Chains A and B, each alone.
Chain A
Amino acid sequence: DAGVTQSPTHLIKTRGQQVTLRCSPKSGHDTVSWYQQALGQGPQFIFQYYEEEERQRGNFPDRFSGHQFPNYSSELNVNALLLGDSALYLCASSLLQGGPYEQYFGPGTRLTVT
C-alpha cells in the first residue's frame, strides 16, 4: 500500500518566480491538505481540498493556490516567491468521512528561495 508521495524532493527557486509542488495521496484517501514548515517550527496549515474544491484555508496570502484532480492528487502553487517562502512543504491525506480524521504525511518538498 503506497503512502503519500510528493515531488520534487528538493527545489531551488529565485525570488519572484513561481513554483508547483505535487502530491499523491495514500490509496483510498479523498482529502488532501498542505502545510508549510519553516525551519525549527511546527507545520502551519495552508489549505485543504476535497472533491476538487478548497474547503478550508489557513492564514496564507493568495499567492498560495492549489488544485485537486479527479484522481485525488493535488498541486500547490506559489507565485511571486519571497525569501520567506523557503520551507518544507508537507502534503497530508485523509478520509473525510467516518473519522477519527488522522492525516498521513508525505516526506515533503524542501523549497529554497534565493
Chain B
Amino acid sequence: AQSVTQLDSHVSVSEGTPVLLRCNYSSSYSPSLFWYVQHPNKGLQLLLKYTSAATLVKGINGFEAEFKKSETSFHLTKPSAHMSDAAEYFCVVSPLSGGYNKLIFGAGTRLAVHP
C-alpha cells in the first residue's frame, strides 16, 4: 500500500530564510508525487508534481522538490520565505489502478512565516 508521512506538523521560519518541509513516501513502484498548498478557507492548489521525468522538480512561487528514491523522500524547499507562504502544505502520492488514480494525502505541515 502507498502512503506518505510528513515529518513535521508545524514549521516556523522568519521571512527571507529558507523553507524545508519534509516528506517520506512508501510505494511498491515508482510513484507520482505532488505537493499541494491550502491557504485558510481556500481550496487546494498544486505547487508541483514529480512523474519520473526529472528528480529535481520546480514549481510555482519559487518552490522546488527533489525526489530521492534511495531515501524515499520528496522534500519541499524554497530559498527565501515570504509572508504569503504561510499556509498548510500537503505531500501527496498517487497510486495508479488501471489508469484511475486517487490521491493519498499526508497529514499536512502548517508553515508559519514571521516578520
Contacts and interface: CB of A to CB of B under 8 A. Distances in A.
Nearest to A108: B43
Contacts of A4: 43
A27 B105 CA distance: 25
A102 B34 contact: yes
Contact of B100 (A48, A99, A100, A102): A48
Contact of A101 (B32, B43, B44, B108): B32
Contact of A105 (B43, B51, B100): B43
A99 B43 contact: no
Interface stretch (B66-74, B78-86, B89-97): B89-97
Contacts of A92: 44, 103
A33 B32 CA distance: 17
Interface string B30-52: 00101010000011111001010
B49 A100 contact: yes
A68 to B, nearest CB: 13
A106 B43 contact: yes
Interface stretch (A11-19, A39-47, A75-83): A39-47
B108 A41 contact: yes
Interface string A84-114: 0000001010101101111111111000000
Nearest to A104: B46
A9 B101 CA distance: 26
Interface of B: 32, 34, 36, 42-46, 49, 51, 90, 94, 96-97, 99-108
Interface of A: 4, 31, 33, 35, 41-45, 48, 50, 55-56, 58, 90, 92, 94, 96-97, 99-108
